[in-house]
Amino acid sequence: MYRKILVIFVSVFIVKDGIITQALLMFMILVGVLVIHLKKKPFASDIINNVEVLSVLASTVTIFCGLFFILDIN
């Protein structure tokens, strides 16, 4: 739940700082959320924990790859 709130916060309130700042901040937040989730394992079922890890990992990889398109300097 807090991950979603942070994503919305970055999307809405960090607009004036630019898209690169938004992407880097999102990347750091998602990596932090992934580390916390892997340490705490908040769900009782291992399957649900694994699905949540894959979800956060997919979001992290998407933002990471998006950074390469944003920073494409010729």
pLDDT in tens, 37-52: 999 999 999 999 999 9
Residue 22: band (very low, low, confident or very high) from pLDDT cuts 50, 70, 90: very high
End-to-end CA distance of the chain: 39
Structure confidence at residue 74 (pLDDT)? 56
Give the three-state DSSP class for 73. Answer: coil
8 A C-beta contact, residue 63 and residue 26: yes
Structure confidence at residue 45 (pLDDT)? 96
Over range 67-73, report the average pLDDT: 82
The 3-state DSSP composition of the chain as helix, strand, coil percent (nearest 5) reads: 85, 0, 15
Number of domains in the chain: 1
- Is residue 65, in this structure, part of any structural domain at all? yes
- Is residue 54, in this structure, part of any structural domain at all? yes
Residue 54: band (very low, low, confident or very high) from pLDDT cuts 50, 70, 90: very high
Q: Write out the residue range of the structural domain in which residue 33 sits.
A: 28-74
